[in-house]
Amino acid sequence: MTDMNVGIGYGYNLAVEKLAEELAVPPDRFDQAERRYKDLGEFLHRDESKVRDFDPDVYIQGSFALGTPIKPASTDEDYDLDIVVAFKALSKRHMCQADLRRLLKDELKAYRKARGIQNAVGESRRCCTLIYADGAQFHMDVLPAVPNEANMRAVLSSYRADEALADGAIAITDSEEIATYHVITDDWPGSNPRGFAAWFKSRQLEQLNERRRAFLDARGKVTASVEDVPVFRVRTPLQSAIMILKRHRDEWFAEQDDPDLKVISIILTTLSTHAYAGEARVSDAIAKILRDLHVKIEELHGVYWIANPTDPSENFADRWETHPERGEAFFEWLEAARRHFGAVQGFSDASIVLNELSQSLGDPIVEAARLRVSTNTGSRAASVAPAAAAGASSPGLVFGDEQRRPTEPKGFG
């Protein structure tokens, strides 16, 4: 039994703050990512572009858009930059998925040549890939798409969900759907990255806007709107908690026999965001998330279901049905995370906390965080006071032998 019904110790609170700082992608990397996708957008709108008339809208999705990427564990790993190219002047009735993919790939080949990128344009099931060879540790997954707002709005309406989340919804290509990939049809896979980003923001709006305002004030932009600050320019307790849990997941699954068992980031991010309840400190956010991470995993006729909050008809855990070992691995990892963080959350000495977490988070990140702790200039009182003033405290967690089997979902039957 892992008892987390203890207060958050000063040392633990400081240690996880510094771990989040160390895991954070440096601002210049975000700048680099922003330059990458904007440069591609400008290229697709050049006079010679074969897709210019289709009004390509280029934007980031995934962890960079949400502000939750983490530094690669080694120089052998890349930053994964997910890009959407939505052709706003096209629709599913104009061409098939294969032709849309070919159209974008031809332009990416021209972009690769113009920018001197040595690696060939690659392809996967749903996107094309550009791998930079300039030491930036970047590879860009580029997803071709067309608008799909009307269809998504109908889906959200049928589930009595917020139809505003359909704004920006897209239809995407899938080369493994043989029956529909080469024919003109309305049957395309859907995606909703902008809706997901809007939902992610809405779940942490108070903490997000507080940090956006501080970001603007620090730059003397006192009259600017917080909406002008992208989510990835600040770091909230939710973002920090997700980053730390991602690294714990990476380290834990690296020790398992099958790498395919690793919990995918969209599941970790979705469940963490559901569990988050506005905690003002990273330590409290981690505790609350670990307590309730399982709550939104439902079960329908024996099948685990993690609904996409911006498309309830999509199950993020769909592969758990054919690979039940992945669901089992999720719960095993969750119990390990609860043990590892729960065992140290009451400690007052940050150095001891880091010692205990080194095996589960990796020595390099822990030692770098230790340096940050040693140079921390804030006093203990200063570190504790903001959370106390906000009423933040340990969520009072007890992870014991309670039944955590998901209940049957409402609205999916």
Residue in the block written with tokens 């965080």: 369
For 13, phi then psi, to 5°, come to: -60, -45
**Helix (H), strand (E) at residue 385:** helix 380-389
Residue 134: per-residue pLDDT: 55
**Helix (H), strand (E) at residue 311:** strand 311-315
* Bridge partners for 188 per DSSP: none
pLDDT tens by residue, 169-204: 999 999 999 999 999 999 999 999 999 999 999 999
Helix, strand, coil content of the chain in percent (nearest 5): 50, 15, 35
Q: Give the HSE-up count for residue 148: Cα atoms under 13 Å, Cβ half-sphere.
A: 25
Pairing mode, if any, of strands 303-305 and 307-308? unpaired
DSSP 8-state secondary structure symbol assigned to residue 74? S
Residue 128's closest CA among 114, 152, 110, 148?
Answer: 110
Q: Is 121 helix (H, G, I), strand (E, B) or coil?
A: coil
Extract the residue ranges of the chain whose pLDDT is less than 50. Answer: 1, 3-5, 377-413
Residue 136: per-residue pLDDT: 59
Residue 72: per-residue pLDDT: 85
Residue 2: per-residue pLDDT: 52
Rounded to the nearest angstrom, the gap between the alpha carbon of residue 225 and the centroid of all alpha carbons in its chain is 25
CA distance 286 to 357: 14
pLDDT tens by residue, 73-85: 877 777 889 999 9
Domains and CATH numbers, the chain: 10-22+235-377 (1.10.1410), 26-191 (3.30.460.10)
Residue 404: per-residue pLDDT: 41
Residue 400: per-residue pLDDT: 40
CA distance 326 to 333: 10
Residue 133: per-residue pLDDT: 65
Q: What are the E-state strand segments in 137-215?
A: 138-147, 170-172, 190-191
Q: Give the HSE-up count for residue 12: Cα atoms under 13 Å, Cβ half-sphere.
A: 24
DSSP 8-state secondary structure symbol assigned to residue 70? B
Q: Is 281 helix (H, G, I), strand (E, B) or coil?
A: coil
CA distance 289 to 360: 18
